[in-house]
Amino acid sequence: MKNLNQQKDESSLPYSVWPVEATAQLEREGADALGITLFELMQRAGEAAFNQMRNRWPDSRRWLVLCGHGNNGGDGFIVARLAKSAGLTVTLIAVEGRRARPDEAQQARDGWLAAGGVIHDPSVDWPDDAEVIVDALLGTGINRAPAAPYDCLIEKANRHAAPVFAVDVPSGLVSTNGTTPGVAIDAKSTLTFIALKPGLLTGKARDHVGQLHYHSLGLDSWLATQLSPIARYDAGYLSHWLKPRRPTSHKGDHGRLLLVGGDHGTAGAIRMAAEAALRTGSGLVRVLTHIENVAPLLTARPELMVQELTSAALDEGLEWADVIVIGPGMGQGAWGKKALKKVENSHKPMLWDADALNLLAISPDKRQNRIITPHPGEAARLLNVKVSEIESDRLHAVRRLVKRYGGVVVLKGAGTLVADDGDRLAIADVGNAGMASGGMGDVLSGIIGSLAGQKLSLYDAACAGCVVHGAAAEAVAVRMGTRGMLATDLFSELYLFVNPEMSNTKE
């Protein structure tokens, strides 16, 4: 396993993400800060893309370059010129538009022609022996389905045997939110410039981006002075939240966590949440559950304190706890409703998940001492919309959830989003498809509740918890793949990520 604290190199990803509408201003101001023109910045982008491709496919000799009519196409013209100069065989296909090209793209096109390059029409037959395809068709400006001939070129590229390298963003992927309103390039690698865009990290991004790379185009120092409105977090950031414990600390220093849930027949959910809390450092974990679950939970995990959920036990537990988690396996019957009614009167930090969210959707309220952790289906119920509306713009959806319910919202999914009422927004850039299995959300609830009990703020606990959860799943996938991954498989890896100082000890 890589060192989580290793020095990031030029191709690694920054922890800042920028809305697409801000990138044009970043380009202009960045070029001014360096004292260069926008065309010189485009040349840097083309050179960075060419070098990345040469590193990725060093033995390839025949490239097919697809250029659009805008500045993304300009990057492609530069890639093609550099490849031709390096002695590669380059076939370039370009889409002509009704309007004139941007000045920088036109300069790049002229440079390709001056170097002896030929521009082919989109209707031309493609070379069968192309070894790599360069996608420089559509950049960050697209927000609808690609029209002809772009759609045909994208479909043809996806059918071709050669891998596709996307310049800045895979064509057809909406870089504002990660949606794909039409066809989109299935890239093996994507190199994005200056700023990470949200749509490269959430929504349908992982189906299309492939391996994501980043290049600052020499703007590192200037970008470091700019405050981005969206954060990207991965395992490398965990040491910012999770510091080594004092040698003299005791269990009372690390949080008393109360978990409420597990109705008749659903002991597994509350057990997974409770063990996840223990595995991520809670000092004391108490579970209030259905009477039939008490003995099995104590037998399976004797480190837990397990009691029957009664009114008196809940009163005592709420008084005792530092943080409360409610919902896993709770159900929506009278048993769960009664417990939630009492918990909602507490002013202590709390996390609501699963059926607590379904009941919240029926009787909405807004509070600042709560984390909610909906998946898209639960989010749709909370906002009284269709799931497709949630998935059509996840960033907008998480902001709506915060506005309606307050506190901190974790919108789960590929590229989980965390937002709070103070306008903070983060993307957890971790995890994999193996997490699409029952119980993963229960484990996440236990992790976040545990970290909140260890004195992280609700927002930081949510961000760090999502990263720990996803990073552990990545570690499991390295050992055994994604298909067949169980939520409980994460328990064997969680310790590494809540102790980031140990990252050098496991290879």
| pLDDT tens per residue across span 11-69 | 489 999 999 999 889 999 999 998 999 999 999 999 999 999 999 999 999 999 999 99
Neighbours of 202 (CB within 10 A): 24
Q: Which residue has the tokens 């990073």?
A: 471
CA atoms within 13 A on the CB side of 472: 29
CATH superfamily of 237-500: Ribokinase (3.40.1190.20)
Beta bridge partners of 135: 66, 166
d(CA 144, CA 174) in angstroms, rounded, equals 8
Other C-beta atoms lying within 10 Å of the C-beta of residue 97: 11
pLDDT at 9 over 70: no
pLDDT (average), residues 447-468: 98
Residue 476 and residue 469 in contact, taking contact as beta carbons nearer than 8 Å: no
Q: Please report the beta strands in 107-229, taking only residues with DSSP state E, as ranges in sequence order.
A: 119-120, 132-136, 164-167, 189-193, 211-215
DSSP state of 407: S
- 501, pLDDT greater than 90: no
Cβ contact 220:284 at 8 Å: no
CB 458 within 8 A of CB 371: yes
User: Pairing mode, if any, of strands 370-372 and 408-411?
Assistant: parallel
Cα–Cα distance measured from residue 410 to residue 374, given in angstroms and rounded to the nearest whole number: 6
Residue 270: closest CA among 255, 289, 284, 257: 289
Whether cis (ω within 30° of 0) applies to the bond prior to 149 is yes
Report the 10 Å Cβ neighbour count for 174.
28
Cα(191)–Cα(170) distance, integer angstroms = 9
Task: Specify the amino acid at residue 169.
Answer: V
Q: Report the topology of domain 16-228.
A: Rossmann fold (3.40.50)
Residue 390 pLDDT exceeds 80: yes
Say what the pLDDT of residue 500 is. 86
The rounded distance, in Å, linking the Cα atoms of 408 and 449 is: 13
Query: What whole-number distance in Å separates Cα of residue 281 and Cα of residue 265?
Result: 28
Question: pLDDT per residue over 296-350, tens digit each?
Answer: 999 999 999 999 999 999 999 999 999 999 999 999 999 999 999 999 999 999 9
Q: How does pLDDT run across 121-154, given as a tens digit for each residue?
A: 999 999 989 999 999 999 998 999 999 999 999 9
pLDDT at 6 exceeding the cut of 70: no
Kindly provide the b/e burial profile for residues 373-402, where b requires at least 16 CB atoms within 10 angstroms of the residue's own CB: bbbbebbbbbbeeeeebbbbbbbebbbbbb
- pLDDT beyond 60 at 404: yes
pTM (predicted TM-score): 0.94
For residue 3, pLDDT beyond 60 = no
Residue where the block lists tokens 């805008």: 70
Q: 82: pLDDT confidence band, cut at 50, 70 and 90?
A: very high
CA proximity to 339, closest of 373, 360, 314? 314
Write down the pLDDT at residue 253.
87
Q: What is the mean pLDDT of the chain?
A: 94
pLDDT value for 141 = 87
User: How much is the average pLDDT of 234-252?
Assistant: 94
Residue 4 pLDDT class (50, 70, 90 cuts) = very low
pLDDT in tens, 411-421: 999 999 999 99
Contact 496, 234 (CB under 8 A): no
Is the pLDDT assigned to residue 291 strictly greater than 70?
Answer: yes
Q: Locate the domains of the chain by residue range.
A: 16-228, 237-500
- For 441-456, what is the mean pLDDT? 98
Distance CA(339)–CA(403), nearest Å, equals 26
Q: Which residues pair with 196 in a beta bridge?
A: 17
| Predicted pLDDT of residue 503 | 59
| Per-residue pLDDT at 504 exceeds 80 | no
